[in-house]
Structure 1
């Protein structure tokens, strides 16, 4: 089950699109494909490959760590244009206290998602989601010319 809403580039809303996907591993490649498809008409100047990589890391983290008993098992992805900035939000039902930036050992196969986001995005944030649970977002400034 997956739902998407795509906004036409001429609309006034700062929200450009949203995806609601099941909290399963198969949602990671689906989120990558759909985000690339839906953001392309807006012609951002930032690296789409970087954005897709960061989105992939955040959706993967949501799938691996974003569950909470009694809450719907979905991941919600929204992206916004605010002036020249692209903001991508990934919402999941898990508790916000579980989000932390790790410094994994070289032999640790996990823990590199948020360090990648920290290194590539112009800024990122984690905290309580307006839908309940957690939101982790990243911003790419200068995604569009002034």
Structure 2
């Protein structure tokens, strides 16, 4: 199996869903599709397409830069925090120094976090509670108050 989905979080939990994806290119569109499918019942007021785009960028980075000696997965989780939506993407390996890059016009890569920075209310990176690195973003006013 290339992925697992957690559709039924605990009652009262702010976590709305989660998925584990193998670090392969096919996981990027799969993450977009499954996020759209499993966020829909919560009727967010924010742009699900924008969120799916940011998830694509972060899952791509996690696959590209995640490292582990053992087989590993990329974990994506999404949470409701008041009126905001927070999405986390976890990848294995030592906590990376994640930073915004400012690529030249001819650079083929390096724009993912710039895109997240321009769309999300905020973003953060640091050590993951699963080990490795987590990069998260927050979309404000994802639900009416």
The TM tier, using the shorter chain, reads: over 0.9
Answer yes or no: is the 8 Å Cα contact 1:71–1:93 preserved in 2.
Answer: no
**CA deviation profile, 1:57-111 (whole Å, cap 9, x unmatched):** 000000111123x244200000000110100000000332342210000000100
Residue ranges of structure 2 left out of the alignment (5+ in a row): none
Match of 1:106?
105
Q: What is the CA RMSD across the aligned residues, in angstroms?
A: 1.4
Q: Which residue in the other structure is 2:52 paired with?
A: 52
Unaligned runs of 5+ in 1: none
Q: What number of residue pairs does the alignment pair up?
A: 144
Consecutive aligned runs of 4 or more in structure 1 exceeding 6 Å deviation: none
